[in-house]
Amino acid sequence: MAKLYFYYASMNAGKSTNLLQADFNYRERGMRTMLFTAAIDDRFAAGTITSRIGLKAPAIAFDATTDIGACVARQHGEDAISCVLVDEAQFLTPAQVDQLARVCDVVGIPVLAYGLRTDFQGALFPGSARLLALADSLVEIKSVCMCGRKATMNLRVDAGGRAIAEGQQTEIGGNDRYVALCRRHFTEALG
C-alpha cells in the first residue's frame, strides 16, 4: 500500500535538500518521479525546486487551481510514476492534499510532501493542517535555534532584523525574512 508522508520543519532545515535526495534515489534506480512546487515561491526560478546548498531540479508549479491528482493520473497513464514529491507543501489547499491521498490509496503511488508546519505567527497553514490529519507518516526534520535547542518556529523579521508579529500569512523569503527559533526564543522575540 502506498503511503502519504509529510516531512515538516521550520525554515532552513533542509526540506528541499531531502526532497531532492529522495528524487535522486528513485531516479538512480530507473524509476520515474513527478516533482511539484508552489508557483508562489519564485525566489530562485519558477517551476524549480532549489536547495540552499545548490541542488535543484525542474518541477511542475502548482497553485490553488491545479488539479494535482489529475496531473499525476494523466502522467502515470502515459509512463508509470514511482513516486510523487511535493515541495512547499504548506501551500497546498486541503482539496489538493485530499487528491494526494487518493494518489496513494487509489493509484498506488507514494507521495512525499515537504513543507512548513506553521507560519510566522505559530498558526498552521491549511495545507499543513490537512497533511497532519491525513498523512500515514509524519516526519519532523530537525533544525537548530541560535541557543542550540530544536527550532520549531519561524520568526518573520524586517530589514533591520526586528520581529514582525502581524501581516499576511504568506510572504515569500529566505534568511533575509525568516529566522528559525525554538518556541522560547520565538515567544521572547515577539515580546
Annotated binding site for ATP: 9-16, 87-90
Given 28, 78, 88, 140, the catalytic residue: 88
The cell for 17 is 535538500
The strand ranges marked E within 97-177 are 111-116, 137-140, 153-157, 163-164
Separation of alpha carbons 129 and 135, rounded Å = 10
**Residue numbers belonging to the annotated binding site:** 9-16, 87-90, 145, 147, 178, 182, 185
**Residue 74 phi/psi, 5° resolution?**
-60, -50
Known catalytic residue at 78: no
Alpha-helical runs (H) found in the chain:
15-28, 68-78, 94-102, 126-134, 183-190
**Residue numbers belonging to the annotated binding site for substrate:** 178
**Residue numbers belonging to the annotated binding site for Zn(2+):** 145, 147, 182, 185
Which residues are known to be catalytic? Answer: 88
